[in-house]
């Protein structure tokens, strides 16, 4: 009990010390919206930012709010309308939101928000069960070309990064992306069971999710979607197997529309400082996230390009009407 | 259900208007489902599309509409006691105010206090002032406990900012 | 018997006084947040996870386990006392539990829920220790067609909640199925019945529907009938504790509930709701007191509560053996492990047995703490029902809306809650059963998407449903369960006419 009190007391002291510190940035009282329910990737990112920003004394307090709904469509609508011009608010978003906004015909788009920075990304992988006759990405490509209907892909939600990747794979090898037999599952557990149980031909997912299965030999990875080989990961990229498929599931943070350049600068600097802090690095390590910091205009550019690419793919598979 | 379950008498054989309404609502629902299913684009390449299940459920609803209609026409419905609409409307009014206050940013304490007072009045309490004080104290305590202590974020309005 | 040694070592760590205190605080906090309707164990853990950051790893893990169990038990408490299931898995508990509370038997209902959770949690934890590798093989082989067949079995058993008129029961069920269609179709991403409202794209939240139908609907109904003789709730009638008779009727239900909960919870898409329904209808069929069902039968609380808790332990099977979180709760547990430096996966049992067993021991200790904290409180909880009716129902409504306000503070969501309240009122008034609506909302979408997955894999050939031995067997069970009552009735009539 004493130890517990001592810790509580310590925390209180730390908080009040932080509060009395003179540096300007420490006066920051931020609100970060996770446009999803607690527990998911965006929520974890928002809470990780909260932890790092406070631990590194970049902000005095950070409050995380959750606005769940429709792949972030509900959250971004509320963010754009409710937080306009507020320099103390940010929202976490990511790849999935791009597709969700297009598919849900959202009146609010990512063009309206003020880009701050990309934070993390996760490389994607295609796997087959260990006893599958397919050994390489080219084998899979040949199977798809032979009979596209018979090659079933298991992955995450319709229009999400896994689905987009399946369509890109088909498109890249010259097959008709519209005809892919992609079967969305509700979660990694369900799709993994379908792959291990041999119900589907191949599975698509983030690398970290299936890394354990790949290492233990239950799944065989046909390829990863990074530009170059990832150090420490013994899986060939699609590129080196002659298939130009580069994609990553990124997460980023944005600010509301209508903030002043100064406000944008304060937020960008705070995020940049956070990314360099030890607290953030520790969290990345703990969660197994890949640092993919990209700030400023470079990120704004990236966001635009991704939006075009994803929308085009979703149109090609008929999920978004052109 | 057989007729012997019901109290015998002329009343139990009359056509039941509520049953007719239920049948009509089910039929309308079935139509809405079919109309909605028809506007879905046929993008599914393999297996069953998104429009199949709504149609199946619509057929079920249609059959149930007929079943409920027959029950209503035969007066085969369980007897009902009279209901007093006033308290129900009072509580619904409280809920409507709660939604309005939350929507307009009036905050958690005010919103739940209004609902509390409306409900307790619906259950026959007339000491509105006492109840209002109880409600305000209670919701303030709840707000402090959950929002401040347990970091649950509840909507804040003018009253919450005073705390 | 390395397993036992490892478990004993884990226990030794977990029962240090400091850790026991953390467990107690965790259980208390978990219960406090978990009682809010609409905030289930997953959300409770997510919201309270930051509290555990400040502790050392061992303490944080054990407090975490306490929060988790507290959150789960909190949902049952409100289901029993104020007919407001805190999460979808405690809906079955509300059916009989609240009837018991109204009859002055809230004490035994809360006790059988707590003890049943403990028994189920303990058995399931032992099962986890010894059967995990076997179970996971079974779980992985369970394909979409098998899930669909399992849903068919569940659908047949729903009739246990129908009441006396099949037409009215089916009407309720189909209303639930219709509600289940609302939102984005999981397989094609197309919006159905959303009418352009973005909040509807994610579909109807089960807890919003359950809280609206059960809690708000009931408040409206009771208010509308106030001019009749006032319904008097006596908080305690007879014993506050479980009698010999209660124990006798509970223990088998606990065991059967565990048998449903653990294996189905271990399935990647099994969840906690289906085992609770299966348990409820099984208890109803097997009970020696079928006439008490619908009026407060203790088996109807004991079974589903045990199933709920056992399924939670079941979700640990894929989590610890495959490293895969198969439910929102499991995803939160994963986050909890990660802060302990634990990366679940196929190699976890082999690489870090100390941590795995430490965790299992923590869960066990948290379960004990839950019992220690809650049994003495039972007397206090049931006295809540002695609050004068106006304040009681006003409090219930504040509480019911508060869960939604905290989880999803949108006007649309709150309006849905009020709308479902009106629906619940009308259904009560015109004598339609409530539970099948919620069941339809839960089962409908799962059955649909699994069927469509199976058909997409087979390129539209329905024979796939009969090719898998598991699904063929389950469909057979469903068919027998569907036809058996009619056949038996026919036989009875036949016999009667012979006499």
Are the beta carbons of B115 and C398 separated by less than 8 Å?
yes
Dump pLDDT digits (tens) for A289-299.
888 888 888 88
Residue C442 pLDDT level (bands cut at 50, 70, 90):
confident
Residues 6+ away with beta carbon under 8 Å from C314: C124, C128, C135, C261, C262, C263, C264, C265, C266, C267, C270
Q: Is the pLDDT of residue C335 over 90?
A: no
Do B157 and B124 share a structural domain? yes
Do B87 and B76 share a structural domain? no
So what's the pLDDT on residue A111? 83
B121 is a domain residue? yes
Higher-scoring residue by pLDDT: A205, A287: A205
Q: How many CB pairs under 8 A join A and B?
A: 15
Q: Is the pLDDT of residue C461 over 70?
A: yes
Which candidate from B48, B57, B139 shows the least CB-CB separation from C398? Answer: B139
So what's the pLDDT on residue C416? 93
Q: Which of A12, A69, A216 to mutate to test the interface with C (most CBs of C within 10 A)?
A: A69
Do B87 and B74 share a structural domain? no
Q: Is the pLDDT of residue C329 over 50?
A: yes
Which candidate from C25, C346, C410 shows the least CB-CB separation from A216? Answer: C346
Q: Is the pLDDT of residue A21 over 50?
A: no
Which chain B residues are Cβ-neighbours of C181 within 8 angstroms? Answer: 33, 53-54, 57
CB C112 within 8 A of CB C302: yes
B144 is a domain residue? yes
So what's the pLDDT on residue B136? 93
Q: Are strands A29-34 and A248-255 parallel, antiparallel or unpaired?
A: unpaired
So what's the pLDDT on residue B92? 95
Q: Is the pLDDT of residue A20 over 70?
A: no
Q: How far is B3 from chain C (nearest CA, A)?
A: 13
Query: Considering only CA atoms, which of C221, C84, C203, C173 is closest in space to residue C438?
Result: C173
Q: How far is B43 from chain A (nearest CA, A)?
A: 6
Q: How far is A208 from chain B (nearest CA, A)?
A: 30
What span, in angstroms and rounded, lies between the C-alpha atoms of A164 and B101?
A: 42
B43 at interface of A, judged by CB pairs closer than 8 A:
yes
* Residue B52 belongs to domain spanning: 14-81
DSSP code string of A139-204: HHHHHHHH-GGG-EEEESSTTSHHHHHHHHHHHHTTS-GGG-EEEE-SSHHHHHHHHHTTSSSEEE
Question: How many residues would you count in chain C?
Answer: 499
Q: Are strands A114-129 and A248-255 parallel, antiparallel or unpaired?
A: antiparallel
So what's the pLDDT on residue C102? 85
Do B70 and B44 share a structural domain? yes
Q: Which of A159, A318, A321 to mutate to test the interface with B (most CBs of B within 10 A)?
A: A318
Q: Which of A65, A71, A193 to mutate to test the interface with C (most CBs of C within 10 A)?
A: A193
C126 at interface of A, judged by CB pairs closer than 8 A:
no
Q: How far is A106 from chain C (nearest CA, A)?
A: 8
B6 is a domain residue? no
Do B157 and B97 share a structural domain? yes
Q: Which of B43, B45, B148 to mutate to test the interface with A (most CBs of A within 10 A)?
A: B45
Do B95 and B73 share a structural domain? no
Cα dist from C106 to A148, A282, C78, C236, C372, whole Å: 60, 48, 11, 7, 18
B150 at interface of A, judged by CB pairs closer than 8 A:
no
Q: Are strands A202-206 and A61-66 parallel, antiparallel or unpaired?
A: unpaired
Q: How far is C148 from chain A (nearest CA, A)?
A: 14
Q: Is the pLDDT of residue B4 over 50?
A: no
B107 is a domain residue? yes
B4 is a domain residue? no
The proportion of chain C whose per-residue pLDDT surpasses 90, expressed as a percent, equals: 12
B126 is a domain residue? yes
What span, in angstroms and rounded, lies between the C-alpha atoms of B126 and B94?
A: 15
Do B88 and B157 share a structural domain? yes
* Residue C171 belongs to domain spanning: 1-496
B48 at interface of A, judged by CB pairs closer than 8 A:
no
So what's the pLDDT on residue B89? 94
Q: Is the pLDDT of residue C323 over 70?
A: no
Which candidate from C25, C140, C408 shows the least CB-CB separation from A68? Answer: C408
So what's the pLDDT on residue A7? 43
Which chain B residues are Cβ-neighbours of C414 within 8 angstroms? Answer: 95, 98-99, 102
So what's the pLDDT on residue C469? 87
Portion 150-179 of A in contact with C at CB < 8 A: 150, 152, 157-159
Query: Considering only CA atoms, which of C402, A181, A125, A27 is closest in space to residue B152?
Result: C402
Which candidate from A38, A40, A152 shows the least CB-CB separation from C47? Answer: A38
Do B49 and B19 share a structural domain? yes
Which chain A residues are Cβ-neighbours of C407 within 8 angstroms? Answer: 37
- The mean pLDDT value of chain C amounts to 81
Which candidate from B85, B102, B124 shows the least CB-CB separation from C405? Answer: B102
Are the beta carbons of A149 and B46 separated by less than 8 Å?
yes
Which candidate from C48, C393, C430 shows the least CB-CB separation from B119? Answer: C393
Query: Which residue does chain A place closest to B43, by CA atoms?
Result: A318
Are the beta carbons of C324 and A288 separated by less than 8 Å?
no
Q: How far is A179 from chain B (nearest CA, A)?
A: 7
A277 at interface of C, judged by CB pairs closer than 8 A:
no
Last residue of a domain, one of B81, B105, B124: B81
Which candidate from C33, C165, C415 shows the least CB-CB separation from B150? Answer: C33
By three-state DSSP, how is residue A249 classified? strand
Q: Is the pLDDT of residue B5 over 70?
A: no
Average confidence (pLDDT) over B4-13: 44
So what's the pLDDT on residue A59? 81
Between helix A41-55 and helix C41-53 the angle, nearest 10°, is: 20
Last residue of a domain, one of B51, B81, B111: B81
Dump pLDDT digits (tens) for C45-101.
766 666 666 666 667 777 777 887 887 788 888 888 888 787 778 888 888 998 898
CB C68 within 8 A of CB C253: no
Portion 61-90 of A in contact with C at CB < 8 A: 67-70, 73-74, 77
So what's the pLDDT on residue C3? 65
Last residue of a domain, one of B81, B110, B127: B81
* ipTM for the predicted complex: 0.88
| Burial environment of residue C280 by CB neighbours within 10 A (0 to 12, 13 to 18, 19 or more) | buried
Average confidence (pLDDT) over A218-234: 87
DSSP state of C183: E
Average confidence (pLDDT) over C432-442: 87
What span, in angstroms and rounded, lies between the C-alpha atoms of C176 and C440?
A: 4
Number of domains in chain B: 2
Which chain A residues are Cβ-neighbours of B41 within 8 angstroms? Answer: 318, 321
Are the beta carbons of B45 and A63 separated by less than 8 Å?
no
Which structural domains are found in chain A, ordered by start?
28-121+250-317 (3.40.190.150), 122-241 (3.40.190.10)
Dump pLDDT digits (tens) for C14-37.
777 887 888 888 888 888 777 777
Residue B113 pLDDT level (bands cut at 50, 70, 90):
very high
Dump pLDDT digits (tens) for C149-188.
888 888 887 776 677 788 888 999 999 999 999 988 888 8
Q: Is the pLDDT of residue C360 over 80?
A: no
Residue C347 pLDDT level (bands cut at 50, 70, 90):
low
Are the beta carbons of A199 and C457 separated by less than 8 Å?
yes
Dump pLDDT digits (tens) for C306-316.
998 888 888 88
Higher-scoring residue by pLDDT: C330, C73: C73
CB C480 within 8 A of CB C159: no
Do B100 and B134 share a structural domain? yes
Average confidence (pLDDT) over B55-83: 87
So what's the pLDDT on residue C175? 95
Average confidence (pLDDT) over B119-130: 89
Dump pLDDT digits (tens) for C244-286.
888 999 999 999 999 999 988 888 777 788 889 889 988 988 8
Subunits close to A (at least 3 CB pairs below 8 A): B, C
Do B90 and B155 share a structural domain? yes
Residues 6+ away with beta carbon under 8 Å from A7: C54, C55
CB A96 within 8 A of CB A83: no
Residue A285 pLDDT level (bands cut at 50, 70, 90):
confident
Are the beta carbons of C193 and B32 separated by less than 8 Å?
yes
By three-state DSSP, how is residue C463 classified? coil
So what's the pLDDT on residue A16? 40
Average confidence (pLDDT) over C102-108: 87
Higher-scoring residue by pLDDT: C255, B82: C255
Q: How far is C449 from chain B (nearest CA, A)?
A: 9
> What pTM was computed for the model?
0.80
Which candidate from A179, A319, A321 shows the least CB-CB separation from B45? Answer: A179
Q: A232-241, C183-192, C378-387: which has the minimum mean pLDDT?
A: C378-387
Query: Which residue does chain C place closest to B150, by CA atoms?
Result: C48
Are the beta carbons of C457 and A183 separated by less than 8 Å?
yes
CB C389 within 8 A of CB C25: no
Average confidence (pLDDT) over C352-368: 76
Do B69 and B91 share a structural domain? no
C46 at interface of A, judged by CB pairs closer than 8 A:
yes
B123 is a domain residue? yes
Do B25 and B94 share a structural domain? no
């Amino acid at each position: 009990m004493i130890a517990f009190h001592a810790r509580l007391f310590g925390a209180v002291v730390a908080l009040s010390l932080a509060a009395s510190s003179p540096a300007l940035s420490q006066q920051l009282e931020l609100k970060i919206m996770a446009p999803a329910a607690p527990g998911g990737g965006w929520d974890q990112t928002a809470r990780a930012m909260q932890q790092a920003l406070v631990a590194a004394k970049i902000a005095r307090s950070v409050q995380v709010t959750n606005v769940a709904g429709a792949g972030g469509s509900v959250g971004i609508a509320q963010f754009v309308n409710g937080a306009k011009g507020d320099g103390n608010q940010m929202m976490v978003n990511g790849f999935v939101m791009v597709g969700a906004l297009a598919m849900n015909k959202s009146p609010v788009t990512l063009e309206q928000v003020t880009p701050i920075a990309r934070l993390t990304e996760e490389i994607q992988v295609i796997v087959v069960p260990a006893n599958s006759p397919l050994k390489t990405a080219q084998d899979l490509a040949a199977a798809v070309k032979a009979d596209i209907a018979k090659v079933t892909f298991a992955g995450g939600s319709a229009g999400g990064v896994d689905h987009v990747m399946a369509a890109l794979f088909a498109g890249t090898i010259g097959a008709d992306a519209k005809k892919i037999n992609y079967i969305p599952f509700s979660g990694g557990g369900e799709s993994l069971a379908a792959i291990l149980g041999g119900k589907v031909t191949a599975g698509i997912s983030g690398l970290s999710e299936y890394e354990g299965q790949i290492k233990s030999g239950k799944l065989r990875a046909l390829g990863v979607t990074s530009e170059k080989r990832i150090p420490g990961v013994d899986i060939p990229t699609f590129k080196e197997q002659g298939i130009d498929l580069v994609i990553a599931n990124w997460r980023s943070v944005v600010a509301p529309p209508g903030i002043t350049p100064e406000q944008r600068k304060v937020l960008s600097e705070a995020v940049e400082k956070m990314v360099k802090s030890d607290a953030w690095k520790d969290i990345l390590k703990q969660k197994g996230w890949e640092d993919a910091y990209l700030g400023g205009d470079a990120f704004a550019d990236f966001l635009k390009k991704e939006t075009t690419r994803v929308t085009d793919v979703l149109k090609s598979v008929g999920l978004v009407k052109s | 259900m057989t007729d012997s379950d019901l109290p015998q008498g002329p009343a139990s054989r009359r056509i039941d208007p509520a049953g007719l309404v239920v049948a009509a609502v089910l039929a309308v629902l079935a139509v809405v489902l079919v109309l909605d299913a028809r506007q879905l684009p046929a993008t599914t390449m393999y297996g069953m599309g998104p429009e199949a299940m709504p149609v199946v459920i619509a057929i079920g609803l249609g059959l149930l509409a007929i079943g409920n209609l027959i029950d209503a026409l035969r007066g085969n419905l369980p007897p009902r006691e009279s209901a007093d609409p006033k308290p129900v409307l009072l509580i619904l009014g409280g809920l409507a105010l709660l939604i309005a206050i939350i929507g307009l940013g009036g905050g958690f304490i005010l919103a739940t206090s209004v609902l509390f007072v409306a409900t307790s009045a619906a259950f026959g309490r007339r000491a509105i002032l006492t109840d209002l004080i109880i409600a305000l104290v209670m919701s303030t305590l709840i707000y402090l406990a959950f929002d401040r202590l347990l970091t649950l974020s509840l909507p804040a309005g003018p009253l919450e900012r005073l705390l | 018997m390395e397993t036992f040694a490892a478990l004993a070592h884990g226990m030794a760590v977990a029962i240090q006084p400091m850790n026991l205190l953390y467990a107690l605080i965790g259980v208390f906090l978990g219960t406090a947040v978990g009682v809010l309707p609409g905030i289930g164990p997953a959300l409770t853990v997510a919201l309270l996870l930051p509290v555990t950051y400040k502790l050392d790893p061992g303490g944080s893990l054990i407090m975490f386990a306490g929060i988790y169990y507290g959150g789960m038990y909190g949902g049952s408490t409100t289901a029993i006392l104020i007919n407001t299931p805190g999460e979808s898995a405690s809906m079955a508990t509300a059916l009989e539990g609240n009837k018991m509370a109204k009859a002055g038997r809230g004490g035994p209902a809360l006790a059988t829920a707590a003890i049943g959770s403990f028994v189920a949690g303990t058995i399931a934890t032992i099962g986890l220790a010894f059967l995990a590798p076997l179970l996971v093989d079974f779980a992985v082989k369970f394909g979409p067609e098998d899930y669909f067949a399992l849903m068919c079995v569940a659908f047949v058993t729903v009739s246990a909640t129908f009441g006396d008129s099949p037409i009215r029961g089916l009407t309720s069920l189909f209303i639930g199925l219709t509600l289940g269609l609302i939102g984005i179709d999981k397989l094609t991403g197309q919006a159905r019945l959303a009418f352009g409202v973005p909040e509807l794209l994610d579909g109807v939240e089960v807890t919003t529907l359950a809280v609206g139908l059960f809690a708000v609907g009931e408040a409206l109904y009771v208010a509308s009938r106030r001019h009749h003789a006032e319904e008097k709730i006596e908080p305690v009638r007879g014993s506050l504790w479980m009698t010999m008779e209660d124990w006798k009727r509970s223990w088998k239900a606990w065991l059967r509930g565990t048998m449903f909960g653990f294996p189905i919870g271990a399935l990647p898409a099994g969840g906690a709701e289906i085992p609770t329904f299966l348990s409820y209808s099984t208890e109803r069929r097997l009970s020696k007191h079928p006439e008490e069902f619908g009026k407060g039968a203790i088996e109807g609380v004991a079974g589903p509560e045990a199933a709920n808790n056992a399924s939670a332990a079941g979700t640990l099977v894929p989590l610890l053996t495959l490293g895969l979180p198969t439910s929102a709760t499991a995803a939160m547990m994963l986050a909890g492990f990660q802060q302990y430096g634990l990366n679940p996966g196929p190699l976890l049992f082999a690489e870090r047995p100390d941590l795995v067993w430490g965790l299992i021991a923590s869960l066990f200790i948290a379960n004990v703490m839950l019992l220690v904290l809650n049994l003495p409180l039972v007397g206090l909880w049931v006295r809540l029902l002695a609050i004068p009716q106006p304040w009681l129902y006003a409090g219930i409504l504040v509480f019911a809306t508060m869960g939604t306000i905290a989880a999803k503070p949108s006007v649309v969501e709150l309006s849905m809650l009020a709308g479902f309240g009106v629906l619940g009122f009308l259904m009560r008034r015109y004598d339609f059963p409530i539970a099948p609506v919620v069941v339809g909302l839960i089962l409908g979408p799962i059955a649909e998407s699994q069927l469509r997955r199976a058909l997409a894999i087979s390129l539209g050939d329905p024979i796939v449903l009969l090719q898998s031995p598991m699904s063929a067997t389950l469909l057979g069970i469903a068919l027998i369960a569907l036809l058996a009552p009619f056949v038996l009735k026919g036989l009875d009539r036949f016999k009667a006419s012979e006499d």
